[in-house]
Structures are given as structure tokens and as C-alpha cells.
Amino acid sequence: MSSAKPKVLIVGGGTMGLAAAWALSRRGFAVELLERFDHVHAMGSHGGHTRAFRHAYHEGADYVALVRRADLEWTGLSERVGEPLLVRCGLVEFGADDDPEFLAATAALREHDVTHESMRAHEAMQRWPFSLPDDWRACFAPESGYLRVKACLDAFRREAEAAGAQLRHGVRVRELVLGGDRARVLLDDGSLIAADHIVVCAGAWAPSLLPASLFGQAPARVLRRVLAWTMPPPAQRAALRELPVWAAFAPEGFFYGFPDGDEGVAGTKLACHNLRAEALSFMDEPVDPETVDRSVHERDLAPLREFIDRYFGAARGEIVEASVCLYTQTRSGDFWIDHHPDDPRVVVAAGFSGHGFKFASAIGVAIAELVEQGESELALPRFRAAAH
């Protein structure tokens, strides 16, 4: 009798789809991944060449254990493929003494005994080229840094295909067809593909494949975000190359950036995760991934220019490149990693909210365990469908 494991269809071949294919195929499942775009594309949420890897977690201290598991998986994967995936240049976070999100991030580091160093604003400015208010503090975590997007996704693909996964690109799934002996997906060309299990990792397109009611009181929102790179004068670039990844809990919003380097684009990368000013609430207007405006406008860049002028003059220079990426957020802001309430043969991994990439290696394992065992400690209670 054959000992082959069941067939798993994965809908979506971006970050989480590739992570799922990687983890499932290495466990012996027959994996077929369906992706509408190419491998490593700029249409969803994994563009931008680099993604922050931080152990400090203001979104919730229980995320820290998940970060640690992801760290182990990224490290092992890097060793096996023989290429650096996680660059440990450190992470420094800035914020006022009374900022609740900054306080939550530093508290998570203390609670989980993550190596870090706390300092006053004037001490931080002696080390890094920022202009910080006197009442701010800084917290530096040396084991954090950034992930190299293409290298990470290439590594997932390499090990998945070596384990027998079939990755198909340029294939669009129109809908899930549940019920019956086997779950199926309907493709744009009208054909049906059946499998023993389906994993939905469709990013910004997941809401169109799932009933809105599954996302709780409100459907998942897709938000538009802009990343930009500046080209400071040569005299500044040497210092900017030595920067850790940084994040600022400013009164204006949450901003973050990376060392000046040549990871995809030469220059200093920065972005705004969210704004607190009501006058700039355009960032919270939901978009349709099919019709979203992918051009970058001055309105998008204005918050970044203002942040540079106020806090980060060393990065001032021509904006040499900018791009649009998409966030998909659940009502709670937490990930959704759980069985489909209407069909336990389907696992949904969605709503990664602009901070999911770092977790991808651990999330791939969580998805594989949900398929194989029906449960996973890595799929935190806050990620269940009922929590949204």
C-alpha cells in the first residue's frame, strides 16, 4: 500500500504560500502551488527588497515566542542554502517615555529576556544620526535586523521544489468549491482541481475568495502603503550604512527604515506604517487590489519628507525610487491562521497586516502542522477565526 501523504493545493505563491509549500513538501505532502503572478513580484506585500526582523513586539508579547521560532527556522534555512537571509545589524526603536506602543515593545523585551540596551535620547544621538526630542528614549536590540526578501523566497522555493512541490505561476484561482468528497478550486479557465487539503495564502486577494462573514464583524481591509529610497550626499552615506534597522513611535505616526545599502536599490529606505494625524487618514482608506493606484504621488511622500526634516536630516536627499505595497488587515489587526469554519480541510492564512514577513518561516510550519495534525502551538489563540 502506498505511504504517500495527501495532496495539498496552495492558493497564492507569495510569502506565506511559499512558506507553506516549503514546510508541507518537506513533510512529504504532495504540494501543488497556484500563483497568479510570477515568483517574487511587486504586486502584493513582499516587495521592497528588505523586511525588518524585530524581537520587540508592541502588537503583543505573545508574538515574541513566534519570532524566536522564526529566527531558528530562518537560521537553519540560511545554513542549508549557504546564503545569508537574516542580516543581524540590530534594531533601534525610539519613542516618548509615555508612548504606550513604545512602552509595550520595551516591556516585551524585558518579559522575554531579549538582549537589549535602553538609553536616553541624547545617548542615542551620539551613536546614530537622528534628531530626537529630549523626552524620548531609545531601545537597541542587537540580535534583530532585516531579512533579504528575494533570497528568503528563493530559499523557500529551492527546498520546496527539491522536496517535490509543484509551483505553477500565471494561474488564477476564481473561487473555492467546498463540500463533496474532496475540496476543489475553480480556475479562471473554468477547470477544477481537487485535493485532500487546500491552503489559502492569497494575501490581498484572500478576502475575494472568502465570505466576508469569516472576518468577524468587518471584512478584512486592504490598505495601500508606499516605500521610498533617498540618496543622501556621499558624506552622509558612510554613517547611514552603519545604521541598524530603526523604528520611531513619533507623534505623527509609526515610521521605520533600514541601513543605506544596495539591497535591491541603492540608497536609504524608509516608510510609514501608519499615521496618527486625522488629516492624513487617506492611508486608512481601503483599496481594491485589482484597481489600486500603483503610481506614487507627492501626497504619499509628504509624510516621509516631513519625518526626515524633523527627525532624520542625515537621510535628506533626492527620492530615487518609491513603490506601492499592500497591507491586508483583519479587524483585530492580528493574523488569521486557522481552519476554514465551513470546511476543516481548508486552512486559511491571511491578514498579515504589514508585519508578517519576519514570521513566514514559523507560519509555514504552523500551516503544515494544522494540515497534518489539526492543530499547532504556533497558531496562537489570537489567530483563530473566532478571535476576529
For the chain, where do the domains classified as CATH 3.30.9.10 start and end? 91-142+221-329
Average pLDDT of span 252-257: 96
Residue 271's Cα: distance from chain center in Å?
Answer: 14
For the chain, where do the domains classified as CATH 3.50.50.60 start and end? 7-47+150-217+332-387
Superfamily of segment(s) 91-142+221-329: D-Amino Acid Oxidase, subunit A, domain 2 (3.30.9.10)
User: Does pLDDT of 211 surpass 80?
Assistant: no
Average pLDDT of span 304-325: 97
- Number of Cβ within 10 Å of residue 262's Cβ equals 9
- Number of Cβ within 10 Å of residue 296's Cβ equals 16
Alpha helix positions (H), the chain? 15-26, 63-81, 100-111, 121-127, 149-162, 206-209, 234-241, 298-311, 360-373
pLDDT for the residue numbered 10: 98
Block residue for cell numbers 524620548: 136
In eight-state DSSP terms, residue 292 is: -
pLDDT tens for each residue of 3-37? 578 999 999 999 999 999 999 999 999 999 999 99
Burial label, 41 (beta-carbon count in 10 A; 0-12, 13-18, 19+): middle
User: What strand order describes the sheet that includes 86-87?
Assistant: 50-53, 145-148, 86-87
Q: How confident is the model at residue 58 (pLDDT cuts 50, 70, 90)?
A: confident
CB 224 within 8 A of CB 293: yes
Phi and psi (nearest 5°) for 180?
Answer: 85, -175
pLDDT tens for each residue of 359-375? 999 999 999 999 999 99
Give the span between the Cα atoms of 91 and 174, in whole angstroms: 41
- Number of Cβ within 10 Å of residue 185's Cβ equals 24
Q: Which CATH number does 7-47+150-217+332-387 carry? A: 3.50.50.60
pLDDT tens for each residue of 113-158? 999 999 999 999 999 999 999 999 999 999 999 999 999 999 999 9
Average pLDDT of span 182-192: 95
pLDDT for the residue numbered 362: 98
- Which tops the pLDDT comparison, 342 or 232? 232
What single string gives the DSSP state of each residue in 43-62? Answer: SSS--SSEEEE-S--TT-TT
